[in-house]
Amino acid sequence: MEQEQLDETAPTPAAAPIPETDASYCPAPAAPAGRVAGPPFADCLECGKPTEYGVATPGVVMCPVCEWQDAQRTACSG
């Protein structure tokens, strides 16, 4: 049995170019909404206590305690 000898001088195949856009990837998430300074401060949607966000802050506004509890509820358990 003869072993084939590899020609070390032969050019190696070039790697395929990486496309700049690939439809199989998910789009990048949107930037988080900016925090609007207060006062007046918005009330928490869960407990009603004042938050650290101004009233003009878009989206769901919660106090730090409710944000932490919500993060615990929605975190992965695995």
CA 22 remoteness from chain centre: 19
Residues 6+ apart with CB under 8 A from 61: 42, 43, 44, 45, 51, 53
pLDDT value at residue 49: 94
pLDDT value at residue 77: 67
3-state secondary structure (DSSP) of residue 65 = helix
Those residues of the chain that have pLDDT short of 50 are none
pLDDT value at residue 76: 77
Structure tokens at 54: 């101004």
